[in-house]
Copies of this chain bind each other. A is one copy, B any other.
Amino acid sequence: MRYTPAGVPMSGFVLGHESRQIENGIERSVMCELQAVALGEMAKALSAAVAGMKVEAAGFLAAKNQRSKMPVLHVTNIKFVEGIENGLQAEEKR
């Protein structure tokens, strides 16, 4: 866990995705990786995660920084689908 200059917990990670999708009427397999980041309570919730865990993550995409337009998923909602018996779910308080 890192901290922003303002002392906010921050966690950076990579989400891997694999699924079957339909494109132009044809089913195809899909793989992708997405850089992701979580701040504050979300970062704390993620400290329980272990590499390879199945999760459902939601949030918004933002450019990595001024120089790199690489999209990074800012996670505001995460659900551990596997690995934690009580299935931890963390959601950004609005």
Contacts and interface: CB of A to CB of B under 8 A. Distances in A.
A54 to B, nearest CB: 17
A71 interface: yes
Interface residues of A, number: 29
Contact of A24 (B25, B33, B42, B63): B42
A86 interface: no
Contact of A71 (B34, B42, B63): B34
Instruction: Please give me the 4 A-B residue pairs with the lowest Cβ-Cβ distance, nearest first.
Output: A24-B40, A24-B39, A32-B63, A33-B69
Interface of A: 8, 17, 19, 21-25, 30-34, 39-42, 60-63, 69-71, 74, 76, 92-94
